[in-house]
Structure 1
Amino acid sequence: MEIVEEAAIHVLEAGGVTSAKGFSAGGMHCGIRKRKDDLGWLVSEVPTSAAAVYTTNQFQAAPLQVTRESLQSEKPLQAVCVNSGVANACTGEQGLKDAYEMRRAMAEKVNLAEEQVAVASTGLIGDPLPIEKIKAGFQSIGEENDQTVERFEQAILTTDTCTKHVAVQVEIDGKTVTVGGAAKGSGMIDPNMATMLAFITTDASVEESALQNVLKQGTNRTFNMITVDGDSSTNDMVLVMANGKAETETLTEDHPSWSAFVKAFEKVSEQLAKEIARDGEGATKLVEVHVKGATTDQAARSIGKEIISSNLVKTAIYGSDPNWGRIVCAIGYGDEPIDPEKVTVSLGDVTVVDQGLPIPFDEEKAKQPLQQETVPIYVDLHLGDGTATAWGCDLTYEYVRINAAYRT
């Protein structure tokens, strides 16, 4: 394979899921929610290569079953429809029928075979999907103000306080390739996947098995490295579509610019993941934990997740309390190998633990990184070359308020 210099990644200002050529999106209010947009759609002009990863929760919602069936069919995926407000989870046979009806309504609207449409839902578990409202919504699509990516980004939200979107560009085969994405997620975030939806698009031509591989690997390094509250939902997934409109050669792992495409893809995934963690319910800070010196990358990922998942760590960060003991405890929660006498912990540039023992530090200086919008924590295990970064948020009174009355 020819070795080429890796192309630079350019982040687009205000980029999103329709920045890639040939993709359009829209959203509307169809009446599932009281006032907010609650029905969205994303369509490619041409058939795509597609891949998805799903929640590992054993209660998998009806939309996931229908989407999995669409991706396994012989007909290429070309569109996805999404509703918020009702998850269509734990709804039995009727829920599955409703998910099929939702897929059918979208397919008819955009003149596609049913199997060319994916379905996603997010919201309350156990409530029946108001399918008649959704079908009526699809029938009324056509208003110009519905056909904007901003309406799509709004329509997929639940308790989120903001939309989440990003797009980047990279040069491959002399062509400008765009990778863009949109996501929702604020609570019940502890993927493999969790209560989040993410949609990623690219105008590169990508072989489908290679696309599945880059999605799986990228998810392990990004979406699977965030947590808000340790809860995992029934519904959610990351879906990627590649439509080839940039007219590159078909990308596989053997293409000389494959690493550039992977870098662009993971840049989008990481940014969306960080935005989800930053927008955690009631959160005031993004927590970024960097682990190095682990025996393997997987060990580093596991330890990083233990730290950001600890409620004691999260509350200390909310209070800007440099309580390093909680971090050290969290490092030891799991089964990954550590040597307590080799561990180093730093809060920003202030080292608080060295070789497993506390060292004198300026309390006020140590508080400063904990008062930032992004709180950096560094852990060095001094055992190997494994590295990982995990993202989470602080735990606040507001989180309790939001979730104490989520349904009522």
Structure 2
Amino acid sequence: MAVGLGPLPTLHPVKGFELGIASAGIKRPGRKDVVVMRCAEGSRVAGVTTTNAFCAAPVLITRERMAGNVRYLLTNTGNANAGTGADGLANARRTTENLAALVEVTPDQILPFSTGVIGEPLPVDKIVAALPQALADLREDNWAQAAEGIMTTDTLPKGASRQFEFDGVTVTVTGISKGAGMIRPNMATMLGYIATDACVSRDVLQALVADAANKSFNRITIDGDTSTNDCCMLIATGQCGLPEINAAAGEQFHLLKQAVLDVFMEVAQAIVRDGEGATKFVTVQVNGGGKPQECLDVGYAVAHSPLIKTALFASDPNWGRILAAVGYAGVPQLDVSKIDVFLGEVCIASQGGRAASYTEEQGSAVMAREEITIRIELGRGEFSETIWTTDLSHEYVKINAEYRT
């Protein structure tokens, strides 16, 4: 059940960026599972990728080619092409070589992406056979269909779009994402594609995608597992007609930065809302840290605790589990007498124990909500961090137990 996630919003076309969708039947006949994206000549592409040492073959190739003259992005679902060794690299290259021949570019102008089951050989012939269909489908207004085409265990497509005006010109930022399990992007089976028709230098674009991903995709977690295939790409086609943004300064840059961050945040949080088996959308806010990393360590300790996540699923205000997670987060010389913990607006623990005003009825009322905030005040400094996560339900276990069947 997707928590607070409804139909896709309006996804505005981005000038110079087209998307085409096809069915290769990788896992099931008739399912949309191949997406080709075409960038206008002169587009700049930047991105962040998984830190998993067992990263998938397409991730390795994308890293090699990303700084070049990228014209196409090729995505398949149903097969991750990870844990496949030299054969996996060769297979990923074959898909880009076949696409290159069809569109008359060089293979190094194509970035491959895969998502799905790890350790299985990539069905190259099926993907190649679907390429003409995807190319024939290329359109600038195909974002919603592409959002479906990159799904795996997702229950709903995910997308967001923003527009702003500068010097009388409308600039568009639109993006889609996929992911519902094996989610702890750490850049960063999560994929994200965001495009804008702004003209942005490569250096500024890379800094922008790194910053936006760090504030969004790098602050979500469903199960604490960093995928082998995580990639988030930001494409600037330069087709809006405005001068190039070549420095992280000025009104146009700041307007673009805010629009990009809004889209990143929306599609990243959509992944959490559609977490496998999720019934709760949980915000873990940690304030008063002496360092940002202290806040993150505490936040992730709470967000990853199976005991806390199962209590959230049961709507059980078992606040002792939260205190325990804060205590083992590894913050040095933590003074528990300075820590306050809140469920929503209710203070549940203060000065090392149960808050004097707290009642079980108050905690139960908060835990019964679909959207819950756990706020932790460390009382050590001025830094704050926020992480978004889910509960852990019977359905999560069922989905992942049956994933390959």
Q: Paired residue for 2:193, among 187, 196, 199?
A: 199
Q: TM-score, length-normalised on structure 2?
A: 0.92
Structure 2 residue 79 is matched with structure 1 residue 83: no
Higher mean displacement: 29-38 or 331-340 = 331-340
The alpha-carbon deviation at position 362 of structure 1 amounts to 2.9
In the alignment, structure 2 segments of 5+ residues that lack a partner are 1-7
The one-letter code of the counterpart of 2:297 is S
Name the structure 2 match of 1:376: 373
The alpha-carbon deviation at position 193 of structure 1 amounts to 4.5
In 2, are the aligned partners of 1:54 and 1:64 still within 8 Å (CA)?
yes
Name the structure 2 match of 1:396: 393
Q: SS of the residue aligned with 1:98?
A: helix
Name the structure 1 match of 2:3: none
Q: SS of the residue aligned with 2:338?
A: coil
In structure 2, distance between residues paired with 1:269 and 1:356:
37
CA-based RMSD of the aligned residues comes to 2.0
The alpha-carbon deviation at position 107 of structure 1 amounts to 2.8
1:273-292 mapped onto 2 (5 Å cutoff): 273-292=268-287
In structure 2, distance between residues paired with 1:43 and 1:260:
25
Q: Paired residue for 2:338, among 339, 342, 345?
A: 342
Name the structure 1 match of 2:28: 34
Name the structure 1 match of 2:100: 107
The alpha-carbon deviation at position 329 of structure 1 amounts to 1.7
1:144-155 mapped onto 2 (5 Å cutoff): 144=137, 148-155=142-149
The one-letter code of the counterpart of 1:325 is G
Name the structure 2 match of 1:120: 113
In 1, are the aligned partners of 2:144 and 2:159 still within 8 Å (CA)?
no
1:335-377 deviation line (CA, Å, top 9, x unaligned): 3343211111111111111233211323223222222221111
Q: Paired residue for 1:98, among 70, 91, 95?
A: 91
The alpha-carbon deviation at position 104 of structure 1 amounts to 2.0
Q: SS of the residue aligned with 2:208?
A: helix
Name the structure 2 match of 1:261: 256
Q: Paired residue for 2:402, among 397, 401, 405?
A: 405
The alpha-carbon deviation at position 115 of structure 1 amounts to 1.9
- The 1:80–1:142 alpha-carbon spacing in structure 2 relative to 1, beyond 3 Å, is closer
Structure 2 residue 351 is matched with structure 1 residue 358: no
1:305-316 mapped onto 2 (5 Å cutoff): 305-316=300-311
Name the structure 1 match of 2:364: 367
In structure 2, distance between residues paired with 1:109 and 1:385:
56
1:210-254 deviation line (CA, Å, top 9, x unaligned): 111121122222111111111122112111111111222222213
In 2, are the aligned partners of 1:291 and 1:300 still within 8 Å (CA)?
yes
The alpha-carbon deviation at position 299 of structure 1 amounts to 2.5
Name the structure 1 match of 2:184: 190
Name the structure 1 match of 2:240: 246
In structure 2, distance between residues paired with 1:92 and 1:297:
37
Q: Percent identity?
A: 39
The one-letter code of the counterpart of 1:205 is C
In 1, are the aligned partners of 2:37 and 2:138 still within 8 Å (CA)?
no
1:309-332 deviation line (CA, Å, top 9, x unaligned): 111111111111111111122222
Higher mean displacement: 368-377 or 124-133 = 368-377
The alpha-carbon deviation at position 114 of structure 1 amounts to 2.0
The alpha-carbon deviation at position 144 of structure 1 amounts to 5.0
1:21-65 deviation line (CA, Å, top 9, x unaligned): 222212121121213211011222333111111111111111011
Name the structure 1 match of 2:384: 387
In 2, are the aligned partners of 1:87 and 1:122 still within 8 Å (CA)?
yes
1:58-77 mapped onto 2 (5 Å cutoff): 58-73=53-68, 76-77=69-70
The alpha-carbon deviation at position 143 of structure 1 amounts to 5.1
In 2, are the aligned partners of 1:15 and 1:168 still within 8 Å (CA)?
no
